[in-house]
Amino acid sequence: MESFVEFARTLDNDDWLTPVPCTPLWTARDLLSHVSGVPDDVLAGRVDGAATDPWTALQVQRNADATVDELLARWETQTDDFGAAIEAIGEFRPPLDCHSHEHDLRQALGRPGSRDSELVTSTVAALLGNLADVPVSIEVDLDDGATIEAGDPSAGDLVGLSASTFEIFRSMLGRRTRAQVRGLEWSGDPASIDRVVDSWFIFGPSEIAIIE
């Protein structure tokens, strides 16, 4: 949240009108309505249908008339209570969603940054854990020198991937097309690689190529 707010305070009126390709036809201002609306909804008990498209659409509508400064100020005052609330129930998705949307905003504006944040680097292993049911042994060599094993370590087929933590973070959360992921630096049997790519996306894939 702090990273998003810090970046948001650098934007001007024209920036807030910019379409954000990684979102459902939102502008940057609509995106702020969503990310700042999540803690407001949760703390107000408006959680029916949480994380669904209708729920997020209502956030955009509800916050449309507030100023950017009002939304950021409200968000900051709610941070501690919201953090305590999601920690109490073991919910990890809101910080992940917020940081993902920060990079959606950065991509739309052509202003990259915060790619080596702790949330990006600490999340990659958990994201790759979603490939546990793929009947392929996967070794992912990251740009920080670490190697993460995924898939089925006992499988005979071994697939390798060399990629940055940021690329994995963005692609598994739906910010790349299937062709973009298939075009990464893979090694191994092509059919086995295809099986991994088929299970790659937790959200998505994107219908349009996202270049960052």
Give the structural domain span for 85.
2-109
Are residues 91 and 173 both part of a single domain?
no
Is the pLDDT at 2 greater than 90? The verdict is no
Instruction: Give the C-alpha separation, 119 to 30, whole Å.
Output: 24
pLDDT of residue 93: 86
Are residues 46 and 138 both part of a single domain?
no
Instruction: Give the C-alpha separation, 57 to 70, whole Å.
Output: 19
Nearest to 150 by CA among 126, 186, 117: 126
**130 domain residue, yes or no:** yes
Top-confidence residue, 98 or 156: 98
**7 domain residue, yes or no:** yes
**139 domain residue, yes or no:** yes
Instruction: Give the C-alpha separation, 172 to 84, whole Å.
Output: 27
Is the pLDDT at 91 greater than 90? The verdict is no
pLDDT of residue 89: 85
**43 domain residue, yes or no:** yes
Task: Using alpha carbons, list the distances in angstroms from residue 31 to 22, 169, 170, 200.
Answer: 10, 19, 17, 25
pLDDT of residue 178: 98
The mean pLDDT of 182-200, rounded to a whole number, is 98
Domain with 182 in it: what CATH number?
3.30.1050
Last residue of a domain, one of 56, 91, 109: 109
Is the pLDDT at 43 greater than 90? The verdict is yes
pLDDT of residue 90: 83
Is the pLDDT at 156 greater than 90? The verdict is no
Are residues 19 and 92 both part of a single domain?
yes
**206 domain residue, yes or no:** no
Instruction: Give the C-alpha separation, 45 to 92, whole Å.
Output: 18
pLDDT of residue 36: 97
Are residues 185 and 95 both part of a single domain?
no
pLDDT of residue 175: 98
Average pLDDT of the chain to the nearest whole number: 95
Instruction: Give the C-alpha separation, 196 to 130, whole Å.
Output: 11
Last residue of a domain, one of 55, 76, 109: 109
Instruction: Give the C-alpha separation, 90 to 117, whole Å.
Output: 21
